[in-house]
Chain A
Amino acid sequence: QVHLVQSGAEVKRPGASVKVSCKASGYTFTSYSVAWVRQAPGQGLEWMGWISPYNGNTNYPQKFQGRVSVTADTSRTTAFMELRTLRSDDTALYFCARRTWIGEISYFDFWGQGTLVTVSS
């Protein structure tokens, strides 16, 4: 069965960086993109980008370009999300998710458990 297991909670100072990992198992890692979605306290869901572990291609929304990097280590079937220059409003629960598609329809069918990142001075 498919599992995505994320690294533990982090506390960071404003201006620092954070790197969250997402270990995938139960499927062929290079056959599916891994996406990152975050949720600020009491707020909705926000897509941050994804990577194709097959070829390393990435896609980020303009809001996060230059501040977020998503990478993948195929030997460890693990994806990573690094967010730089942290601000207090980056405090959120960060999820990784597997991106699946049928034809041209894509969706997030399996999710990690979430990693809480707290940014505080």
Chain B
Amino acid sequence: DIQMTQSPSSLSASVGDRVTITCRASQNISNYLNWYQQKPGKAPKLLIYGASNLQSGVPSRFSGGGSGTDFTLTSSSLQPDDFATYYCQQSYRYPRTFGRGTKVDI
């Protein structure tokens, strides 16, 4: 199975901060990488697909980058609604696997 390793596991930030989360795959997955945001007790929400494509309706302050094994998710200016847990997920090979998540709090 492809292991997805996120870092950091948690971070503290303030409104207006630029925040970057990293996801590393255990093998080359090209750009088959998606990012989700999840709030407690709620379903995940798709933010980015194909490593860098912004899902419709997602604020433009979010961006994704990378290819191969190393990927990033960035919020250019953190907003109160962005405090949540973020997961990366690979869609390159079965079984589909997720990272363990990065919790962003104040």
Q: Tell me whether chain A's interface is mostly helix, strand or loop, or mixed.
A: strand
Give the bracket for the number of chain B residues in contact with chain A. 20 to 34
Contact B43 A44 (CB under 8 A): no
The 7 closest A-B pairs by CB, nearest first: A61-B95, A111-B43, A107-B49, A105-B50, A47-B96, A45-B98, A107-B34
Q: Which residue of A lies closest to B95 (CB)?
A: A61
A29 at interface by CB-CB < 8 Å: no
Interface on chain B toward A: helix, strand, loop, or mixed SS? loop
Total A-B contacts with CB atoms under 8 angstroms apart: 64
- Please list the residues of chain A having a beta carbon within 8 angstroms of any beta carbon in chain B: 35, 37, 44-47, 59, 61-63, 93, 95, 97, 102, 104-109, 111-114
Report which of A44, A62, A106 forms a contact with B98, defined as CB distance below 8 A: A44
State the CA gap A102–B96 with chains docked (Å): 17
- Are the C-beta atoms of B43 and A61 separated by less than 8 Å? no
